Amino acid sequence: MGVAQLLASGGRFGTTYTVTRTAAGTYTLGRYTAGSTTSPSALASVQPVTGRDLQLVPEARRTETVIKLYADVEMVALDETYDGDQLTYDGDTYTVITSERWDGFGGDVYWKVFAVRKVVSV
């Protein structure tokens, strides 16, 4: 059974999450206009983060709450020009910081994603 089939089987192997993706904004006559937002669904399995996994996370992010998931759709990671896709897990919002394509397991394509919990300022 491939990873896509495990994710699609639901239950403990896969849950549907809503991903929030914001397009790049634009400047018109010096005024910023935020980009449009889309909300694709992703079938994913959240897995425990190991010490070895944390070595793959940027050093400045290692003290934050990190989740690892395997998803059936590509998620766009945080970088200098994009704030990263957002998803909600256990009531908290997480920002995607890495997204790596994995091929194999019966021809399936899926993405290994690390995301950090957004801190809400009071």
Q: Where are the alpha helices (DSSP H) in 1-122?
A: 3-8, 51-56
Spell out the domain ranges in the chain. Answer: 3-117
Measure the CA angle with vertex 21, ends 17 and 26; round to 5°. Answer: 170
Summarised one tens digit per residue, pLDDT across range 85-101 is 999 998 899 999 999 99
Residues 6+ apart with CB under 8 A from 121: none
| Eight-state DSSP code of residue 29 | T
Which pLDDT does position 96 carry in this prediction?
93
Summarised one tens digit per residue, pLDDT across range 12-69 is 557 888 899 988 878 889 998 888 899 988 889 898 888 888 877 777 777 788 899 9
Identify whether the C-beta of residue 50 lies closer than 8 Å to the C-beta of residue 112. no
Which pLDDT does position 57 carry in this prediction?
77
Residues in the chain: 122
CATH entry 3.30.2010 includes domain 3-117: no
